[in-house]
Chains A and B, each alone.
Chain A
């Protein structure tokens, strides 16, 4: 498994874990709270900190276990990255359209924000999974 494939696997897992916790909290208790607009904005700080810390730790571990391959990136990685990004673009577009639709029907800002964030996260997850499948198909 190349450095970029391990990185993709780690990032996909981290995104799934961090935003799984976020959406479990926000779409559960928080969505029913009168202070939900304040709470979800406050949750963004620990979410970003968790993403940065977990990403740094994961990449440090990956690099330490195979120092010679650290940050290696070649034409196959770039090709897989481009294809994964193209697939993720469709998911992101659907998320944007859903957010726009909610705005047009004057939905609550809270739900517009969750749909837009959900679209962004789903697009990132789609890119990660697509890249992992492409790596395996041409392993």
Chain B
């Protein structure tokens, strides 16, 4: 997906805590471009589950310590398969 997402994240904060890790370094470690890390940080792009796990592993934290989804948001979604 390349549209603004409701998934928020703490990547910038986690990078700062990890010795001011640069976006480029994180991008290299998870196998994406720096621009993609920037888009994820700015919440304009939702990464795949695989990339999300890779990001969490880099910071040695759980997935939900990096990414958040607003509570109650799932109830507002259409049924599975309702949207292509």
In the complex, A74 Cα to B40 Cα: how many Å?
Answer: 13
Residues of A within 8 A of B48 (CB): 75
Number of residues of chain B lying within 8 A (CB) of chain A: 18
Q: Which of A2, A3, A76, A83 contacts B45 (CB 8 A)?
A: A76
Q: Which of A4, A72, A83, A139 contacts B39 (CB 8 A)?
A: A139
Most buried by B among A5, A69, A75, A139: A75
In the complex, A79 Cα to B44 Cα: how many Å?
Answer: 13
In the complex, A77 Cα to B34 Cα: how many Å?
Answer: 12
CB distance from A40 to the nearest CB of B (A): 38
Asked whether, in the complex, the Cβ of A76 is within 8 Å of the Cβ of B38, the reply is no
Asked whether any CB of chain B lies closer than 8 Å to the CB of A129, the reply is: no
Interface size class of A (residues with CB under 8 A): 10 to 19
Asked whether, in the complex, the Cβ of B39 is within 8 Å of the Cβ of A74, the reply is no
Asked whether any CB of chain A lies closer than 8 Å to the CB of B22, the reply is: no
Asked whether any CB of chain B lies closer than 8 Å to the CB of A123, the reply is: no
CB distance from B15 to the nearest CB of A (A): 18
Residues of B within 8 A of A45 (CB): none
Asked whether any CB of chain B lies closer than 8 Å to the CB of A1, the reply is: yes
